[in-house]
């Protein structure tokens, strides 16, 4: 049976701990008891952990042997902010697939009320990413950045930077990935509901981004994000 994996909140030598609500879930919902074994992620390393102490809001583990882990692709997802229920779905699923970083992005077509509320949603997005990381047995949760204006997001560095565009007629996303496999950090920009405006695509082009298409169908923003992440992780 596969052991459940937890991402440690605290690590010191051969000891690790879950704290706060993180620990309470293990204590109250999963009925933790001393002696139980789990896999404990401590940064880039995963070790076998045995519960040695349980207290209010705290579970401590003694750390044992190191477990083998699979290297992750260095993929940053620039996700234009859209309806929060769908955005949360995209964050959860893209985390499970293995995205390394998520940058919520403010595009011209991002609804103003979503922009106003986005800053208060970041902590929730980070919790969703953390929970999805443990469920999918990652070694660490992706970094979820504070909301960023598109004019700033397009300047982020990367060896390969791709903007998905429904107006792109010639270049397919998979072909771009295949031609640049092994080049290093990859950034992937997903547009808002309604798509990019022409001047936004021109801004990407001036900053050296490659425009690519997922195909002939017009996808919802969350579908495009999940599909593109799955393809990118597979190719990279």
| Torsional class of 190: left (φ above 0), alpha (ψ -120 to 50), beta (otherwise) | beta
pLDDT digits (tens, 9 = 90+) for 82-94: 999 999 999 999 9
Residue 68 pLDDT level (bands cut at 50, 70, 90)? confident
Q: What is the mean pLDDT of the chain?
A: 94
Domain with CATH 2.40.240.20 in the chain: 5-67
Indicate whether 181 pLDDT > 90: no
Average pLDDT, stretch 206-226? 95
Average pLDDT, stretch 110-115? 95
The DSSP output letter for 145 is P
- Predicted TM-score (pTM) of the model is 0.89
d(CA 222, CA 189): 12
What's the CATH fold of domain 5-67? Ribosomal Protein L25; Chain P (2.40.240)
d(CA 13, CA 61): 11
The reported pLDDT for the residue numbered 105 is 98
Average pLDDT, stretch 114-143? 95
Residue 94, token pair as written in the block: 């893209």
Beta-strand (E) ranges in the chain? 5-7, 10-12, 15-19, 37-42, 45-55, 58-67, 75-80, 101-106, 143-144, 148-149, 160-164, 186-190, 210-212
Q: Does domain 75-235 have CATH number 3.40.50.2300?
A: no
Closest CA to 109 of 83, 88, 90: 83
The reported pLDDT for the residue numbered 99 is 97
pLDDT digits (tens, 9 = 90+) for 38-64: 999 998 899 999 999 999 999 999 999
Residue/partner pairs of 174-178 with CB below 8 Å, 24 or more apart? 174/231, 174/235, 175/212, 176/210, 176/212, 177/231, 177/232, 177/235, 177/236, 178/235
Domain with CATH 3.40.1280.10 in the chain: 75-235
The reported pLDDT for the residue numbered 208 is 97
The reported pLDDT for the residue numbered 1 is 56
pLDDT digits (tens, 9 = 90+) for 189-210: 999 999 999 999 999 999 999 9
In sequence order, what are the residues at sequence separation of 6 or more whose Cβ sits closer than 8 angstroms to the Cβ of residue 221? Answer: 79, 80, 82, 86, 87, 90, 190, 191, 192, 193
The reported pLDDT for the residue numbered 195 is 93
The DSSP output letter for 83 is -
The reported pLDDT for the residue numbered 12 is 94
């Amino acid at each position: 049976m596969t052991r459940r994996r937890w991402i440690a909140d605290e690590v010191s030598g051969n000891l690790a701990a879950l704290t706060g609500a993180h620990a309470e879930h293990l204590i109250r919902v999963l009925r933790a008891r001393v002696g139980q074994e789990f896999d404990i992620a401590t940064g880039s390393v995963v070790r076998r952990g045995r519960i040695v102490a349980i207290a209010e809001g705290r579970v401590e583990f003694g750390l044992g042997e190191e477990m083998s882990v699979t290297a992750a692709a260095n993929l940053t997802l620039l996700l234009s902010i859209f309806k929060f229920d769908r955005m949360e779905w995209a964050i959860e699923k893209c985390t499970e697939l293995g995205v390394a970083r998520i940058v919520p992005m403010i595009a011209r077509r991002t609804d103003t009320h979503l922009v106003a509320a986005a800053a208060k949603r970041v902590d929730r997005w980070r919790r969703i990413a953390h929970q999805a990381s443990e469920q999918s047995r990652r070694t660490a949760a992706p970094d979820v950045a504070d909301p960023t204006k598109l004019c700033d997001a397009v300047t982020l560095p990367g060896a390969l930077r791709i903007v998905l565009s429904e107006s792109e007629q010639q270049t397919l996303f998979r072909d771009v990935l295949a031609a640049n496999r092994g080049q290093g950090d990859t950034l992937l920009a997903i547009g808002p509901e309604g798509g990019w405006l022409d001047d936004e695509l021109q801004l990407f082009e001036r900053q050296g981004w490659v425009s690519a298409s997922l195909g002939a169908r017009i996808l919802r923003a969350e579908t495009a994000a999940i599909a593109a992440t799955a393809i990118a992780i597979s190719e990279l």
